[in-house]
Amino acid sequence: MVRVLIYLAVFACLAFGAVWLADRPGEVSVLWQGYRIETSVAIAAVGVVALAFLVLLVWAILRFVFGLPSAFSLSSRARRRARGFEAVSRGMVAIGAGDPVAAGRYTGEARRFVPSEPLTLLLEAQTAQLTGDRGQAEAAFKAMLDKPETRVLGLRGLFVEAKRRGDMAAARAFADDAVRRSPSLAWANDALLDFHVQAGDWQAARTAVERRAALRLADKAEARRQRAVLLAAEALQARDGEPEKALAAALEAVKLAPSLTPAAALAGRMLSERGDVRKSSKLLEAAWREAPHPDIAAAYLDARPGDSALDRLTRATTLTKLRPADPESVLALAGAAIQAREFQKARETLKPLLAGGASVRACLLMAELEEAEHGAAGRVREWLARATRAPRDAAWVADGLVSDHWMPVSPLTGRLDAFVWTVPPATLGSQAQALDDVLADLDDSTKLIEIKPDSVTTVEPAAVAPPPVPKAEPKPEAAVASPPKDEPKPAEMVAEPVKQAVAAAPGHDSAPPKPVVFPVSHAPDDPGPDDEKPPEPKKSGFRLFG
């Protein structure tokens, strides 16, 4: 519509000019080289316009004739460029498809037709990587450094190749150079953060986290969490040498992430050591509301040094009221009740947890309770046997690794904030079957059960096990009445590591009693002292525990 209006305006102007000339007649006289030309103004104007068109036509013809060689050259270059870009495109497709032969052929064509194009260097480098020629790949990436438009791409390629060959110093240098040239590069900032974290340079890592947050390479919540984790790591590192710095870092970490258990536990303990019990208790109570954990419970119960067992039980009751339905609250209260010799309260506390399927720690607490209250070896062994088959308790897990303490970085992958307090994944079905086989036959005494706070492990000795007795044939009662004195009894083999596990379990009292080995002076299937009635042997074969 606009063009139509422009055309109409031009024609209107021309018509107006023609009318204007027609209304003003006149004569034009030209005298040149003895010739005299006289005409009207309108004809002279038409002649001038015709002469101008003629001159333009001659000039266009001359330009076309003299520009033919360059036109042919330009057309040839365009065809070569088109073929080169087509080779680059097909080469990229071949690399994506994993075809090194086709990728190499198209790389040669691209190098022949468009050797100076950045995409040709990229295709050459990726083809070399696909074929495993690391030297050629590095040469291509180094060639990219000579051009400003491909310099950062070359740095990233050299960074990847340096990491592949294990040269972390060179990889870090390339990442530093990339950040200096382009501060907003996500991969370079992430790489520098990983290098600082793996080197244990927590302050430099916090600077990298803040730079990533300022550049919006990470959201605010992620940046706050990472800063809190790095502050907790710094506090743990400075715990012994610089307590003031450690406390300040731990308090800041708790402020950034209230659910970060290691920081809260450390800050609570350090505040208690300084005599600020009220602030320590308030901080630990807030952390318990966010994420109950055995370390929080232990720090809360130890907030006042020198407290009696009853005072610790009172503090455990106060802590339990904050999260009454949480299993950690039940375990903390039951452990404190056992230490205070409030055995009935401990039983009542553990009863709901046992009804829902007791975990390893709950079974170990019941074993400790039976020993402390009655000294009943039979019932202790019963709970120890249940512990070997019970579900695992929560632990610090990162990348398939189970640890008994928190670490800021995964030792397997180097990932920051990888550890999570959760139940470790395990094939409980096959594990329980293996434990049942161990406990099923007294003759199969070549396996020992090692019970830890967070796992159950079957340890195989080097000796070859004797063939097991088939379960289909019931054993005579006399054959199992008393094992030989020189052979270790299965109950003794289980009791010692379990008592050690009870003492080392998270949330247990920091000064546990010395482990006790329960002597067995009766048949292994006897549940306890002489006043307890032993169970009848099963017809399908002897089992150590019912």
pLDDT means over runs of 10, the chain (546 residues): 86 81 76 80 80 89 80 78 91 92 91 87 90 90 90 93 92 94 92 93 94 91 95 94 94 94 95 92 94 94 89 93 91 94 92 85 93 89 92 91 92 92 65 31 32 37 38 37 39 42 42 38 37 40 30
- One domain for residues 524 and 442: yes
- Dist. CA 86–CA 91, nearest whole Å: 8
Q: The tokens 């024609």 sit on which residue? A: 11
Q: Nearest CA to 543 among 455, 452, 471, 448?
A: 471
- One domain for residues 44 and 82: no
509, part of any domain: yes
Number of DSSP helices (H) and strands (E) in the chain, helices first: 22, 7
Backbone angles phi, psi at 532, to 5 degrees: -95, 145
> Can you give the pLDDT at residue 426?
62
- Dist. CA 423–CA 385, nearest whole Å: 20
- One domain for residues 36 and 124: no
> Can you give the pLDDT at residue 295?
95
- One domain for residues 457 and 499: yes
Check if the beta carbon of residue 287 is closer than 8 Å to that of residue 296.
Answer: yes
- One domain for residues 44 and 106: no
- Dist. CA 120–CA 89, nearest whole Å: 10
pTM assigned to the model:
0.64
- The count of domains in the chain is 3
3-state SS of 359-413 is CHHHHHHHHHHHHHHCCCHHHHHHHHHHHHHCCCCCEEEECCEEECCCCCECCCC
State both tokens at 61: 């013809």
499, part of any domain: yes
127, part of any domain: yes
- One domain for residues 57 and 87: no
Helix axes 2-22, 41-66, angle to 10 degrees: 130
- One domain for residues 25 and 113: no
- One domain for residues 419 and 513: yes
Instruction: Tell me, rounded to whole angstroms, the distance of Cα 220 from its chain centroid.
Output: 17
Q: The tokens 């519509």 sit on which residue? A: 1
CA distances from 110 to 76, 124, 382, 409, 466 (A): 16, 9, 77, 45, 71
State both tokens at 286: 């807030």
- One domain for residues 107 and 56: no
239, part of any domain: no
In a 10 Å sphere around its CB, with 0-12 CB exposed, 13-18 middle and 19+ buried, how is residue 447 labelled? middle
447, part of any domain: yes
CA distances from 212 to 156, 225, 303 (A): 18, 13, 38
State both tokens at 168: 């972390």
108, part of any domain: yes
> Can you give the pLDDT at residue 322?
93
- One domain for residues 526 and 429: yes
112, part of any domain: yes
- One domain for residues 441 and 501: yes
Sign of the torsion angle spanned by Cα atoms 289, 290, 292, 297: negative
- One domain for residues 60 and 91: no
458, part of any domain: yes
Domain that holds residue 124: 78-132
Backbone angles phi, psi at 37, to 5 degrees: -120, 125
Check if the beta carbon of residue 87 is closer than 8 Å to that of residue 111.
Answer: no
Number of other residues whose CB lies within 10 A of the CB of residue 139: 14
CA distances from 34 to 30, 31, 47, 56, 538 (A): 10, 7, 20, 28, 146
State both tokens at 291: 């994420």
